[in-house]
């Protein structure tokens, strides 16, 4: 899943947005789309306020890829002063020459394995549990408990304590 998706994805149960993104393992960056096109997408997303600064601030990275982690930290700093109801024009002005950097990270970097966690109902949804990079946003009755257990067991040691406490396997 590209980082960008976090801007639009909501909890399928309680509809809360944004969801907290926990990156367990980075995937391959996608360089198939031209930078100019992605920049257009980004500016369009900003105008429509699809880009959510609060989503970006909630990203937690567990993977130890230093370079990518530094990029996420920089992304957070760039969006730091903006809240949900931002003014697109002043945001564009502020990020200026960092636009290219933001586009590169948000639209090309992929999460191979991760979690999306709802801050309200505390439900968690795996990314890459069945297919690398694909988030599974299933309602409780369609969740596969055994698969959930296996997924969590695989990553449990790496999860932040706060997250460990909230993880339920009995949906
Ligand atoms: Zn929820």
Count of structural domains within the chain: 1
Q: 98 — phi, psi (to 5°)?
A: -85, 0
Q: How far is CA 159 from the centre of its chain?
A: 16
pLDDT tens, 108-132? 999 999 999 999 999 999 999 999 9
Q: How far is the CA of 18 from the centre of ligand 1 (A)?
A: 10
Contact 94, 34 (CB under 8 A): no
Q: Is residue 60 part of a domain?
A: yes
Q: Is residue 23 part of a domain?
A: yes
Q: Helix crossing, 35-47 with 99-108: angle to 10°?
A: 90
Q: Would you say residue 29 has pLDDT above 90? A: yes
CATH number at residue 138: 2.20.25
Reported residue count of the chain is: 171
Q: How far is the CA of 152 from the centre of ligand 1 (A)?
A: 19
- Work out the pLDDT band at 55, boundaries 50, 70, 90: very high
Q: How far is the CA of 118 from the centre of ligand 1 (A)?
A: 5
Q: Is residue 66 part of a domain?
A: yes
Q: How far is the CA of 19 from the centre of ligand 1 (A)?
A: 8
Q: How far is the CA of 45 from the centre of ligand 1 (A)?
A: 24
Q: Is residue 108 part of a domain?
A: yes
Mean pLDDT value across residues 84-88:
86
Q: 78 — phi, psi (to 5°)?
A: -65, -35
Residue 160: Cβ-neighbour burial (10 angstroms; 0-12, 13-18, 19+): exposed
- Work out the pLDDT band at 170, boundaries 50, 70, 90: confident
Q: Is residue 161 part of a domain?
A: yes
Mean pLDDT value across residues 32-52:
95
Q: How far is the CA of 65 from the centre of ligand 1 (A)?
A: 29
- Work out the pLDDT band at 83, boundaries 50, 70, 90: confident
Q: Would you say residue 84 has pLDDT above 80? A: no
Q: How far is the CA of 47 from the centre of ligand 1 (A)?
A: 27
Q: How far is the CA of 117 from the centre of ligand 1 (A)?
A: 8
Q: How far is the CA of 16 from the centre of ligand 1 (A)?
A: 5
Q: How far is the CA of 145 from the centre of ligand 1 (A)?
A: 18
Question: What's the per-residue H, E or C state across the chain?
Answer: CEHHHHHCCCCCCCCCCCCEEEEEEECCCCCCCCHHHHHHHHHHHHHCCCCCHHHHHCCEECCCCHHHHHHHHHHHHHHCCCCCCCCHHHHHHHHHHHHHHHHHHHHHCEEEEEEEECCCCCCEEEECCCCCCCECCCCHHHCCHHHHHHHHHHHHHHCCHHHHHHCCCCC
Q: Is residue 171 part of a domain?
A: no
Structural domain of residue 51, as residue ranges?
3-166
Q: How far is the CA of 95 from the centre of ligand 1 (A)?
A: 32
């Amino acid at each position: 899943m590209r980082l960008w998706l976090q801007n639009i994805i909501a909890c399928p149960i309680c509809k809360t947005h944004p969801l907290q993104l926990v990156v367990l393992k980075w995937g391959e960056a996608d360089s198939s789309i031209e930078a100019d096109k992605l920049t257009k997408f980004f500016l369009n997303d900003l105008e429509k306020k699809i880009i959510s600064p609060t989503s970006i601030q909630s990203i937690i990275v567990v993977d130890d890829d230093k370079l990518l982690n530094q990029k996420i930290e920089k992304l957070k700093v760039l969006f730091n002063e903006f809240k949900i109801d931002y003014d697109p024009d002043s945001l564009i002005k502020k990020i200026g020459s960092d636009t290219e950097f933001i586009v590169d990270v948000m639209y090309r970097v992929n999460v191979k394995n991760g979690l999306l966690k709802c801050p309200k109902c505390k439900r968690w949804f795996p990314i890459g549990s069945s297919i690398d990079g694909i988030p599974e946003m299933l309602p409780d009755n369609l969740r596969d408990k055994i698969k959930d257990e296996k997924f969590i067991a695989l990553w449990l040691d790496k999860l932040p304590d706060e997250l460990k406490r909230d993880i339920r396997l009995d949906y």
